[in-house]
Amino acid sequence: MTAERHSTAREAELVTDPVEKATVESRNAVNQFDLVMTMVEHWTSSTGPKPFRLRPSMILDLHRAALESLSLYAGNWRPGSVAIAESKHTPPASFLVPGLIEELCDHVNENFRKSAIHLAAYVMWKVNWIHPFVDGNGRTSRALSYLVLCVRLGYRIPGTKTIPDLISVDKMPYYDALEAADKGDLTQMEKLLGELLANQLLTVIDAAGLDEKEAES
């Protein structure tokens, strides 16, 4: 079994019972994804504001949805240092976080004409590199990356198993891509997201095949 990367910081947990915690995390995952889809609809609808502008408040909202009722710091930047287990990367000091997040948003907004995969890969890595939260950095980075991917493409990507879902099934390629990006190579993350996007779209093809067989019976 491969050890998982996760943040380690001192904090009074709001939920300590493992079963209850798992239940809340599951509920929050649904709520966070629903929020992503609401944001996608807002920014891609014909009546939505143009152009898209990534804001720090959007990142905080996604984090709040993931950590609601689990963390005292849900929807807030971390107040102190944090370490990443199973990673060689040391996140920057907490006082640098707000400025680094602003730089991330500026980069996305100023380069929004670049490929959707590049922008999604950059966001996925950069949020993890900054590690702006006490906990929930991975969940928030994957949600934000998917949001940027959908908005850049201009629509909600079809498929029953989304890119964040597929990463959760096997996180090692994701971890390896993060480590490579930490060394300055973002191509591994771009390749991974491209493959995951293809797998997500394959679930649409599979569903269409099942429907066709049902229609013939």
pLDDT at 207: 86
* Residue 91 domain-assigned (yes or no): no
- What is the rounded average pLDDT for all residues in the chain? 92
* Residue 85 domain-assigned (yes or no): no
Q: Give phi and psi for 200, each to the nearest 5.
A: -65, -45
Is residue 217 pLDDT above 80, yes or no?
Answer: no
Taking only the tens place, the pLDDT of each residue in 145-186 is 999 999 999 999 999 899 999 999 999 999 999 999 999 999
* Residue 178 domain-assigned (yes or no): yes
* Residue 89 domain-assigned (yes or no): no
- Total domains, the chain: 1
* Residue 208 domain-assigned (yes or no): yes
Taking only the tens place, the pLDDT of each residue in 36-78 is 999 999 999 988 777 899 999 999 999 999 999 999 999 999 9
Please, which pLDDT band fits residue 14 given cuts at 50, 70 and 90?
Answer: confident
pLDDT at 6: 64
* Residue 10 domain-assigned (yes or no): no
Q: What is the extent of the structural domain holding 56?
A: 16-77+96-216
CB atoms within 10 A of CB 188: 18
pLDDT at 208: 86
Please, which pLDDT band fits residue 215 given cuts at 50, 70 and 90?
Answer: very low
Cα 165 to Cα 12, 55, 89, 140, 159, distances in angstroms: 29, 24, 25, 13, 11
Q: What is the CATH number of the domain that holds 110?
A: 1.10.3290.10
Here the tokens at position 144 are 């934000």
Please report, as a single letter, which amino acid is at residue 176.
D
pLDDT at 2: 59
pLDDT at 1: 52
Cα 171 from chain centroid (whole Å): 13
pLDDT at 3: 67
Here the tokens at position 146 are 């998917």
* Residue 11 domain-assigned (yes or no): no
Taking only the tens place, the pLDDT of each residue in 76-130 is 999 999 999 889 999 999 999 999 999 999 999 999 999 999 999 999 999 999 9
* Residue 7 domain-assigned (yes or no): no
